[in-house]
């Protein structure tokens, strides 16, 4: 597509956008009685308007049924997660039996590592991306220590080459192959939170399995953003939060994936809880844990009804929009337009003030572009916020801007460019 840096072009793209009406289904924060241009869905998605209604329904069930709500009403809480499983599965390319909404992201990462990080003899190391989100780093460090290993010896981090911002797939695969006999687990993020790079999950999984390792992913920035195929790519396990691109509210419920090939594996450890016990036998209250079939057998605590309701509200919007094709196509075009606009700002300034560190190829990224300002980056970010453009600042020097296809428009992107140019001229 030949992009143009003018309002008429942006409005024309929006008029032709088959997803344009979904914008009306979300609530936008305001400043000075004016909606923000919200480009921070990579951190916290907007609230669906229907969320209040869906949550109110469950509050009414609580009011009307109290404890009987677990079994009475149109959506008994005992089985509520099953409705979400059907809607979650297509978003991550899984079977409904392979996914389950439960807990929060890092809790689930720990629970899954209990099962899938099983160091033995020489094979005790974990390979991961360098510069992963801190919660992943801390979780992995603590799991390694729990098993009696020194993190400096047990964790192999893969960093970009000197002078580069993102990882080369060839380098990731080479590191896995080089250390293959020592690796118990390959654990990467699907998309790096800082650079926005989408890793080649299929290739990483294939190499990890070739070397005899288990392979898992943290999909915090990938689920609901890019089309992943957890089942078809033969990934062993994954987990994600739902409050970024899936709009389930701050601290929203997490989701897990366990490939069906592991369902009957009796050698897997797990930290068990009552809610993971066989559903039909659960209320017999018997000793001896017998897991429910599928991913549900990794549940520990009972269904978190209110967080699930908020997630349910957003999942129904995804179902209407059609995630795998329509949303992704718009996301690629919208983010490519933002890339074009940022380059136009540089041209207008006559200097390379803004460098995009997210991969240029749309197939290697999601909805996020991370940019570094040559000068006064934090002041630029603050200037954008003052001008009703809300992105995200990450230390030490990155501005993250994420046009989300469900609720962002081409006009949003154009106006962001105009504000960026204005702020830059005032500061430089």
pLDDT digits (tens, 9 = 90+) for 387-405: 999 999 998 889 999 999 9
Segment 179-213, tens digit of pLDDT: 999 999 999 999 999 999 999 999 999 999 999 99
Largest Cα–Cα distance of the chain, in whole Å? 74
* CA 286 – CA 281 distance, rounded (Å): 8
Is the model's pLDDT at 323 over the cut of 80? no
Segment 1-51, tens digit of pLDDT: 899 999 999 999 999 999 999 999 999 999 999 999 999 999 999 999 999
Is the model's pLDDT at 329 over the cut of 90? yes
- State both tokens at 344: 């136009």
* CA 105 – CA 26 distance, rounded (Å): 24
**Cα–Cα distances in angstroms (integers) from residue 355 to residues 92, 152, 194, 359, 400, in the given order:** 31, 33, 14, 11, 12
The percentage of the chain sitting over the pLDDT mark of 70, rounded to a whole number, equals 100
Q: For residue 171, what pLDDT is reported?
A: 98
Give the pLDDT band (50/70/90) at residue 64.
very high
Q: What is the mean pLDDT of residues 111-115?
A: 98
Q: Let me know: does 188 contact 217? Beta carbons within 8 Å.
A: yes
Q: For residue 104, what pLDDT is reported?
A: 97
| Residues shown for the chain | 428
- State both tokens at 315: 């999942």
Q: What is the mean pLDDT of residues 365-372?
A: 98
Q: Where are the beta strands (DSSP E) in 219-364?
A: 237-241, 254-258, 354-356
* CA 215 – CA 217 distance, rounded (Å): 7
* CA 189 – CA 134 distance, rounded (Å): 11
Q: Answer positive or negative: Cα dihedral of 143, 145, 149, 151.
A: positive
Q: What is the mean pLDDT of residues 139-151?
A: 98
Q: What is the mean pLDDT of residues 70-76?
A: 92
Non-local CB neighbours of 351 within 8 Å, separated by 6+ positions: 374, 428
Q: Which of 135, 193, 185 is nearest to 155 (CA)?
A: 185
Beta bridge pairs of residue 189: 218
Q: For residue 366, what pLDDT is reported?
A: 97
Q: Let me know: does 369 contact 402? Beta carbons within 8 Å.
A: yes
Non-local CB neighbours of 15 within 8 Å, separated by 6+ positions: none
Q: What is the mean pLDDT of residues 62-67?
A: 96
Q: For residue 121, what pLDDT is reported?
A: 95
Give the pLDDT band (50/70/90) at residue 138.
very high
Q: pTM to 2 decimals?
A: 0.96
Q: For residue 74, what pLDDT is reported?
A: 87
- State both tokens at 180: 């293959």
Q: For residue 266, what pLDDT is reported?
A: 87
Give the pLDDT band (50/70/90) at residue 322.
confident
Backbone torsions φ then ψ of 395, nearest 5 degrees: -60, 145
Is the model's pLDDT at 71 over the cut of 90? yes
Is the model's pLDDT at 139 over the cut of 90? yes
Going from the N-terminus, what domains does the chain have, and what CATH number goes with each?
7-48+323-427 (3.90.1150.10), 75-320 (3.40.640.10)
Mean pLDDT, the chain, whole residue set: 96
- State both tokens at 34: 């004016």
The CA-based angle 261-129-118, given to 5 degrees, is 40
């Amino acid at each position: 597509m030949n992009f143009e840096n003018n309002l008429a072009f942006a409005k024309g793209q929006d008029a032709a956008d088959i997803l344009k009406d979904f914008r009306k289904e979300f609530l936008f924060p305001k400043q000075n009685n004016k909606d923000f241009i919200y480009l921070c869905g990579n951190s916290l998605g907007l609230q669906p308007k229907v969320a209040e209604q869906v949550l109110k329904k469950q509050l009414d069930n609580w009011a009307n049924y109290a404890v009987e709500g677990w079994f009475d009403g149109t959506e008994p809480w005992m089985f509520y997660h099953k409705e979400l499983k059907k809607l979650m599965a297509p978003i991550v390319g899984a079977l409904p039996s392979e996914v389950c909404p439960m807990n929060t992201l890092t809790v689930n990462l720990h629970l899954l590592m209990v099962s899938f990080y099983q160091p033995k003899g020489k094979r005790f190391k974990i390979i991961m991306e360098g510069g992963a989100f801190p919660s992943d780093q801390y979780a992995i460090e603590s799991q390694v220590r729990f098993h009696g290993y020194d993190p400096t010896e047990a964790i192999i981090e893969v960093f970009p080459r000197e002078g580069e911002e993102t990882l080369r797939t060839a380098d990731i695969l080479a590191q896995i192959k080089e250390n293959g006999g020592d690796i118990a687990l390959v654990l990467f993020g699907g998309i790096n939170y800082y650079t926005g790079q989408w890793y080649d999950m299929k290739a990483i999984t294939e190499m990890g399995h070739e070397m005899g390792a288990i392979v898992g992913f943290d999909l915090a920035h990938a689920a609901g953003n890019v089309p992943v195929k957890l089942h078809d790519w033969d990934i062993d396990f994954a987990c994600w939060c739902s409050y970024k691109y899936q709009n389930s509210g701050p601290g929203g419920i997490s989701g897990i994936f366990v490939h069906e090939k592991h369902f009957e594996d009796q050698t897997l450890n797990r930290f068990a809880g009552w809610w993971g016990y066989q559903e039909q036998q659960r209320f017999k209250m018997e000793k001896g844990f017998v897991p429910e079939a599928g991913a549900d057998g990794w549940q520990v605590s009972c269904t978190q009804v209110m967080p699930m309701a908020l997630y349910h509200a957003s999942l129904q919007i995804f179902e209407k929009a059609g995630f795998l094709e329509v949303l992704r196509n718009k996301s690629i075009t919208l983010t490519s337009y933002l890339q074009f606009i940022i380059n136009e700002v540089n041209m207008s300034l006559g200097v390379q003030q803004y460098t995009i560190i997210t991969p240029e190829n749309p197939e290697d990224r999601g909805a996020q572009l991370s940019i570094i300002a040559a000068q006064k980056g934090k002041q630029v970010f603050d200037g954008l916020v003052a001008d009703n453009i809300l992105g995200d600042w990450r230390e030490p020097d990155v501005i993250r801007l994420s046009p989300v296809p469900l609720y962002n428009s081409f006009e949003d992107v154009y106006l962001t460019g105009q504000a960026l140019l204005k702020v830059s001229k005032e500061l430089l």
